[in-house]
A and B are shown apart, each in its own frame.
Chain A
């Protein structure tokens, strides 16, 4: 009997020793900060005990969170708010704590909030709502989590969406602006195309109709000269009328040519520039003979372009070179061609991704001063008095237009009394 009792005591002692060891181990762990909370069972129910030391890190974290953190009762009362949240509303801490979160809702957000809140009572919910701060409306993203059964409250994380909304608004505003501007540009483009087409047909019709009365003036003047025996002075005046009309006719013809050099009449096909130069030389046969001009060219490329326009391009350039030759020296014109990379060309129109045919037309004529480099391509620009050199001031404008029609560009280089070089750049593909 005594041994039985002894054995029971021993067993009891062992059990207590074990429990004591467990407790010591727990205390050691708590001392070491390894335990935040522990649960004890009492009255058949677990109860959680948190430790001040363990809590501390979380308190610091939540308090300094860069998001709003709230603890809300099931009725909606705010029992905890971190610094961020009351600062977000622009209200002092005391005004927030103990107040219902509903009081800070924008009227339009009440329904959404009620929905989110009742959903959160059974778990979690997230959504966008608007809060009313002291000074302004604050759009936020709120994430609600029921803390039940540990706590009879709901935790909330509140993210400020002000900057995001502003960005969105700016983005929407900018998108609308871009749309507006695009539409505007499209309208302007259409208007411009119409104006261009109108202008082209206007200049065509105008020059065509201008020719009629001019022809009459010329014919009648010629008729009068043939019919009557006038004094020398009158004859001279009539000849001057005829000369002026002829000049005007040349101008109109050139204008017609200029307005004909349109994209709309351009059909791209492979054009052998050797053939085209040959044709231009045969067109200019008479003036070449008269000035005893020599034109050298070889190995010119075949390019995609409009045959008629390219033909006119070379005819105009060669005509120019022959016309503006020096009296003391026979014209010598050299046409050469090579391929260059776009990035090697010093010109604003050069596309750095492309390759170009660089076609040079160099002469030994009267040249021109540097300051006229761009001017010579303008319509009706003449560098010389019309008595010195004939010309309408349209030829090079046509040249520039044709090169542009072929997606290229042209430059001019000249030195007085040494010569001019025109360089055409046409993309290889």
Chain B
């Protein structure tokens, strides 16, 4: 079954994200890390790599941009598709993260239903191409 890795320091967003994934498919595996550094350390020693990473931009210790820069250097990890999952909807952020190697950009919606639908779309696109 598919593995999902969420990197986000916001507890509410972790909870809602988990909830939405659960509703989409209870069989999906979800791991959570609260900043880029923890995530990177975890990924480097992991036996089963995630199929997709959801990455918040604004985090302590190591933010999303730094994480993108670091993971690009890891030959084992730099093929994993990355979805930016942030409150920002600034065009500059969208363009910049694309340059940094992120494939998708999902602005955290203020509507649970919208979150679920958008997540479902992204997951089905990514997993279909597996």
Contacts and interface: CB of A to CB of B under 8 A. Distances in A.
Given A223-B16, A223-B19, A218 B111 contact: yes
B115 interface: yes
A212 B113 CA distance: 18
A416 interface: no
A219 B87 contact: no
Interface in B75-117: 87, 108-113, 115
A344 to B, nearest CB: 43
Nearest to B12: A216
Contacts of A220: 12, 16, 112
Given A220-B16, A223-B16, A215 B110 contact: yes
Interface string A217-244: 0111011001000000000000000000
Contacts of B110: 214-215, 218-219, 245, 249
Contacts of B113: 222, 226
B112 A223 contact: yes
Interface in B1-57: 12, 16, 19
Nearest to B111: A222
A212 B112 contact: no
Chain A interface size band reads: 10 to 19
**Counting chain A CB atoms within 10 Å of each CB, which of B12, B16, B110 scores highest?**
B110
Contacts, number: 29
Contacts of B112: 219-220, 222-223, 226
Interface in A179-218: 211-212, 214-216, 218
Interface residues of B, number: 11
Contacts of A218: 110-111
A233 to B, nearest CB: 21
Contacts of A214: 110
Contacts of B115: 219
Contacts of B16: 219-220, 223
A271 to B, nearest CB: 20
Nearest to A217: B110
The dominant DSSP class at the B interface is helix
A220 B112 CA distance: 7
A215 B19 contact: no
A222 B111 CA distance: 6
A215 B92 CA distance: 22
A247 to B, nearest CB: 12
A216 to B, nearest CB: 5
A211 B87 contact: yes
A211 B109 CA distance: 11
B109 to A, nearest CB: 7
Contacts of B19: 223
Contacts of A223: 16, 19, 112
**Counting chain A CB atoms within 10 Å of each CB, which of B87, B111, B115 scores highest?**
B111
Interface string A245-257: 1000100000000
A214 B111 CA distance: 11
A214 to B, nearest CB: 7
Contacts of B87: 211-212, 215
Contacts of B111: 218-219, 222
**Counting chain A CB atoms within 10 Å of each CB, which of B19, B87, B112, B115 scores highest?**
B112
A411 to B, nearest CB: 35
A218 B16 CA distance: 12
B56 to A, nearest CB: 12
A222 B12 CA distance: 14
Contacts of A219: 12, 16, 109-112, 115
A223 B17 CA distance: 11
Nearest to A212: B87
B86 to A, nearest CB: 11
Contacts of A215: 87, 108, 110
A116 B119 CA distance: 102
B8 to A, nearest CB: 13
B11 to A, nearest CB: 10
Interface in A95-126: none
Interface of A: 211-212, 214-216, 218-220, 222-223, 226, 245, 249
7 contacts: A211-B87, A215-B108, A216-B12, A219-B16, A219-B109, A220-B112, A223-B112
Q: Which 9 A-B residue pairs are closest in the complex by CB-CB distance?
A: A222-B112, A223-B112, A215-B110, A218-B110, A216-B12, A219-B112, A222-B111, A219-B16, A219-B110
Given A219-B12, A245-B110, 12 more contacts: A212-B87, A216-B12, A218-B110, A218-B111, A219-B110, A219-B111, A219-B112, A222-B111, A223-B16, A223-B19, A223-B112, A226-B112
